[in-house]
Amino acid sequence: MRGPHNIVRLIRTGATFERTGAMNLVLDAFEAPKILRGIAHALGWPFKWLGYKGDPNMPPATRALSALGPAYIKFGQVLSTRPDVVGSELAQQLRVLQDQLPPFSREEALAEVERELGRPWQEIFSEFSEPIAAASIAQVHRARLISDGTEVAVKVLRPGIERAFNKDVDAFYFAARIADLFAPGARRLRPMEVIEHFDGVVQGELDLRLESASASEFAANTKDDAGFQLPNIRWNYSARRVMTLDWADGTALGDNDALDAAGHNRRELGERVLSLFLRHALRDGFFHADMHHGNLKVAPNGDIIAYDFGIMGHIDEYTRRVYAEILYGFIKRDYKRVAEVHFEAGYVPADRDVDEFARALRAVGEPIFGMDATQISMGRLLNYLFEVTERFGMETRTELILLQRTMVVVEGVARSLDPHINIWDVAHPVVEDYIKRSIGPKAMVQDLGKTALVLARFGPRLPGLVEKALMAQTHETASKHGIRPVWLIPGGIGVVAGGALASLAAWIF
């Protein structure tokens, strides 16, 4: 219940932010108005002694969120994908938020496994390790199946995590409502929308069947991608709170020394990470949205292995085409076309000048292309783009935020493998191939075919739908002027029908 009892939670939250030195940083990032700053400090400063101390070795924001617990950690992770809301500086700080939480016991995990799978764990696993990784929502154990002796990873939700999250999210909604009521200037920050987005993400991650389904769909899409593999989901041993998948053996992608010792080509790995991400986003519209070092390994045969499918991104076909044309325009340095795409997609208000927008985009792109490969940064490009599009009144495209954030993360992974990698050289063939297949003549024929299928399916209903729309429009116009449409007058519909038939006969003969 989003009532006043949440004030106690908010006081503890404000006190923790004050004690860790994160309060002003967060308020500045949100460009909070004076009244909201006053409320925040009033809830925090007098009760500073109630706040959690946190780890002083962490940056202020991550220190505060880590101290407040799982829901706050997850909230920080979600906000790290929204630089449009919190600003690029705070988003960058939140991206390094660590999911290093104390694990719960092996016995509790086994009890959860038995409850979810409906039988004693000894009938399923011959081995079941102590926790090897503990995150905000779940932890992972290494185990071995009795059925075929396969080594597996078992992900188990934290006991009571649903209730704990719901209580904290309830307080988040309460805080957002206070901001809406007492600080109208803060409404542009869309506090309720931010909390609703967070709530939706978390509720999805609290059902491991949905993560299993995402992994299964991702595997089906990428089964023919050379040099890429995913662990197999064991559906018979998975449920709402338990997820079992094959163990992924390999070298951590972030361990350069180990990769070199194993004889892997780091430059080729970096290029492959970038091209795979772009291919998944453009070709499939469904991509791994958390492709940092911790979720990637390199198999002994050189394949890149991805795991942890709690955060997946989805973009529709039309948006993919727009994004590809924008990327391709920058690659070709055709800034006029990039500007036109923004206008055609409705991203920039039609009353703005397309040529002026193109010049602004040129100011974004040219300095980057003049740099050495080691200095070219997708993150820098996107930051510049945010500045330019804000100046021209472009609304935030929430469907692109996660894609752009992931691209920056993937670029960081690639550069850690080879600092001299040129992201434009890697992106060029992938984007060009997508453009040829999805925007050329062949794609136009396919689009016409899809349109014909839709018309065939709904064709019989079109006359009725058109007639209903016209009648509604005419009725609305007539009502405004106090006129009764002819078909509302007794016998009027017959007059209309007769007149229409007479006109049609005259035209034919």
Catalytically active residues, by annotation: 290
Which DSSP string corresponds to 370-421?
A: TS-TTT--HHHHHHHHHHHHHHTTPPP-HHHHHHHHHHHHHHHHHHHH-TT-
Cα(154)–Cα(135) distance, rounded to whole angstroms?
13
Q: Report CA-CA distances (Å) from 186 to 85, 177, 470.
A: 12, 11, 42
Is the CB of residue 397 less than 8 Å from the CB of residue 414? no
Closest Cα partner for 319 from 295, 287, 350, 296?
287
Q: Where is 67: in which H helix or E strand? A: helix 60-68
Give a three-class secondary structure readout of 416-483: HHCCCCCHHHHHHHHHHHHHHHHHCHHHHHHHHHHHHHHHHHHHHHHHHHHHHHHHHHHHHHHHHCCC
Residue with tokens 């002994």: 300
Residues paired with residue 246 on neighbouring β-strands, in sequence order: 152
Helix, strand, coil shares of the chain as percentages rounded to 5?
65, 10, 25
Q: In terms of C-beta distances under 8 Å and separation of at least 24 residues, what long-range contacts does 497-501 make, across chains too?
A: none
Beta bridge partners of 242: 156
In angstroms, the CA 256 to CA 251 distance is: 9
CA distance 413 to 239: 32
The identity of residue 482, as a single letter, is: G
Q: Are 404 and 384 in contact (CB under 8 A)?
A: no
- CA-nearest of 151, 321, 152 to 242 is 152
| Residue written as token pair 């929308």 | 193
